[in-house]
Chains A and B, each alone.
Chain A
Amino acid sequence: MGRYVARRVLVAVPTLAGLSVLIFVLVSLAPGDPAEELTRKRFGDTEPTAADIARTRAMLGLDEPAVTQYLSWLGNALTGDLGTGFSRGRPVSTEIADAFGVTLVLAAAAVLVVVVVAFPLGVAAAMLHNRWPDHLLRLLTLVGASVPGFFLAYVLIYLFAVELGWLPVAGRGGLDHLVLPALTLAVVPTAIVSRLLRSSLLETFGESYVRAARAKGLAATAVVVRHGLRNATIPVVTYLGTLLAGLLDGVLIVEVIFAWPGLGQLTVQAIGARDYPLIQGIVLFAGALYVGLNLLVDLSYRLLDPRIRLAGTGER
């Protein structure tokens, strides 16, 4: 197991290094000049001169050759220093840590909603296969998986905040502020997980060990919970594991609409400000998160199904 983890970590290093080069090149090729953006922002209505812009460029280190800029950034990144954001003047690692903490709360709430809602729905649909609740659920999950996040956000705000007045529209505060953004984030994954669980459970129902359990006279619910669910959960865990990283996409829109000051809002602001170090830091962080979560998912297979062997571990 230890060798497997070490190997995966080693594989992650070139993956992240490649990602860092890719980010650096893409960000550099993007239209716009952060030095000019920043100077113009600073000058307001007044036209900055070329010398003003050049001063800003030198201060940001953008007058160095691209390779020098990259190597300097990479060297610092290896020591955990992702640089200082152009737009707000704060260390990128601090910006990301602060924002990620806020996003994590939202993402955890969304995952909780997914688990609490999707599992009962998926099990019910499988157990009532091809009966009207199953058909209804399929229709609902199809709609749920298709609805755009921004549209859903506005609909939920209209229903629960404007019309019913039960929840706040936006902003960060108590638990009530968490409900609508978490629901918005959770709808699509809930639809996917319930469908995934349903089809996975239906597959296990045909397995010999399930048939044997039924033959022993176990109640249907006990068969599903004790024998079917554990095996059917593997693809769901795969999905849930990557869901957290996947939610980083969703939060881009959701955090702006709900004024949730997390990683999504920070990303949008960083892109708008052409804040190269911040953009690079966020993408690298998201990449590392994705790689790490994939590793955890792989390891969790072993816990869910001891028959699974991890490649390269030497286990028999």
Chain B
Amino acid sequence: MVMAVVAAACGGNGSSSSGTGGGDETAAGPVDPDATIRIAAGEDDWDDNLAEKSSAFAYVLNVNVYEPLIYLKSDYTLAPGLAESWELVEPNTWRFHLRQGVRFHDGSTFDADDVVWTWQTRQVDLGGNTLSTVANTLGPGSVTKVDQYTVDFTPTEANLRLPEQIVHPEGSILPTDAHNDTAPYLGTGPFRVVEYVPGERVTVERNDDYWGEKPLAKRLEIQFLPDPQARIQALQAGQVDFVIDVAPEAVSGLRSNPGIRVVTSPPGRNHLVYINTREGRVTADAAVRQAVALAIDPEAYVDVVLEGNGERGRWMAPATVLGDAAETVDEVPFDPDGARQVLDEAGWTVGTDGVRERDGRKLQLVLLGQQEVAETAVTLLEGQLEDVGFAVNTVQPPDAAARNAVYDKGNGDFDLDLEPPNQNDGNPAFLPVLRMYSKNANTAQFAPGADFDAIAERSLAAKSTAEAQVASAEMMQNLITTHHIVVPLAGVFRIYAMDSSVNLGDPHPSFTNQLWTTLSKSTG
């Protein structure tokens, strides 16, 4: 059976027309087609070592210079990129029909050889592995040229989620023999690189030969300003027109400035608490996990930690990636009285110091903090948990390796794990399978077991995104309300600030998929 999966046509490059955040406004006046927009971005974590990943391209230019075969739209649906269509050729081959007439920025023609170079040679044979969700499922000879504009991907084992995974900019297509981050930075995208000074600035110009919807601005001058306050001050001083990565605490001040607009994207990142279920931990008791979930107030989390720049947590991933199935995931109520009752019934009685205990064991939790999340998050969670009789000891590891040392100690030397994962591809099963599917590595602390694994396998075997969305929603329901292993805290907005003459147009919830083609400046 050949199942055709042809994405709906869009304006050419995958941009959707909507995409709203909280309290956004738009600039009035006609668009200036010759505009140069000066952008302040965070640190350019430039890296030409190892996998040739670089933040200038993966972080700030995203899919604007190099393009993927498929675009991820801001509503998490797929749209044709360098592949006009794709289909599953049973049993296990994804066939991509490439767009014809596309040229790289040096004028050379894009065709199947470039896809084979990028995916088979660079990602697999040379060990580039920059997009491991896909590359890890490929082996020798997995990517083959059928004809000049047709390429087959045959994973070593069935990977029906491949089109949803391949959207990530780390899977973008490079011309044969080229490497990302190697001058002259030739892609096929809507912008071409004019200058790149690592750590300082990158300048791009509109690619007038672009096959799709052309950028509204002529030129983008991106400066890397690592200090968030300096980025804001640069906007206030008129040194830049547009700021990426605005801190939530700066928003209210910026909104009071009539010359500056703040635009937020829909949530693409979630703040979650994962609960350790391993034997020996106090949270191995399902009643304790349920009490934790009931004791935490997600609305207070949004108000206090995100200063209103987010949505109450309900899912593990953005609701849009689940499509209509999102509604099947129940919201866990904030119910501290219910938490107390659950603990009472489970035999955890309040001790003289206010901390509950059972059989001489204190209800003591170790909360694994997260550098990327504000300190107020930990303070809030500690307070709410202590309110129902938990004692909380927070550990704040300085980096991922130190975090993993805590993970690997015994059954995991923690009970609660605060994490802020992003959803950067269109695979609705990405996060629950990555963290809880027992056949994956490093899932022992959270994997619920056979009932969950059965749903996970259904999501992996789904032949359509819609089926995968239904199974993924079931996985989340299983984790959140059946086993109480995940507590959704918030969906987080990405925040941009800009001069009132600038418009972003379509803020993407996944920053790595943000196109700058809709960024414009009015002539007024």
Contacts and interface: CB of A to CB of B under 8 A. Distances in A.
Contacts of A32: 398-399, 401-402
A47 B48 contact: no
B440 A47 contact: yes
A33 B239 CA distance: 39
A32 B401 CA distance: 5
B401 A49 contact: no
A158 interface: yes
Given A37-B400, A42-B53, A265-B199, A157 B226 contact: no
Given A32-B399, A88-B47, A46 B132 contact: yes
* Interface of chain A: mostly helix, strand, loop or mixed: loop
B136 A46 contact: yes
A154 B233 contact: yes
A81 B196 CA distance: 28
* Range of interface residues on B (Cβ < 8 Å): 35 or more
16 contacts: A34-B401, A40-B401, A41-B45, A41-B47, A44-B58, A44-B130, A44-B168, A45-B424, A87-B49, A89-B47, A89-B48, A169-B239, A256-B226, A259-B224, A259-B227, A261-B199
A42 B397 CA distance: 20
Contacts of A38: 50
Contact of A44 (B170, B198, B401): B170
A42 B51 contact: yes
Interface in B128-157: 129-133, 136
A174 to B, nearest CB: 13
Contacts of B441: 47, 49-50
Interface of A: 31-34, 36-38, 40-50, 56, 85-90, 154, 157-158, 161-162, 165, 168-172, 256-259, 261, 265, 268-269, 273-274
* Interface of chain B: mostly helix, strand, loop or mixed: loop
A88 B399 contact: no
A167 B49 CA distance: 36
Contact of B434 (A47, A85, A87, A162): A47
Interface in B412-429: 421-422, 424
B229 interface: yes
A85 B50 CA distance: 11
Contact of B233 (A31, A88, A157, A261): A157
Contact of A169 (B168, B237, B430): B237
Interface string B38-79: 000001011111110100001000000000000000000000
Nearest to A268: B226
Given A154-B233, A161-B233, A87 B400 contact: no
B404 interface: yes
A135 to B, nearest CB: 34
B330 to A, nearest CB: 26
A89 B49 contact: yes
Given A89-B47, A169-B225, 6 more contacts: A32-B399, A45-B421, A45-B430, A46-B434, A257-B229, A258-B230
B130 A171 contact: no
A154 B231 CA distance: 11
Query: Which 4 A-B pairs give the minimum distances between C-beta atoms?
Result: A89-B49, A33-B401, A36-B401, A169-B234
B47 A36 contact: no
A25 to B, nearest CB: 18
Given A31-B397, A37-B401, A47-B442, A170 B227 contact: yes
B236 interface: yes
Contact of A31 (B46, B236, B238, B402): B402
B237 A161 contact: yes
Given A47-B434, A172-B200, A261-B200, A40 B50 contact: no
Contact of B400 (A40, A171, A257, A259): A40
A42 B405 CA distance: 19
B233 A169 contact: yes
B395 to A, nearest CB: 11
Nearest to B43: A269
B203 interface: no
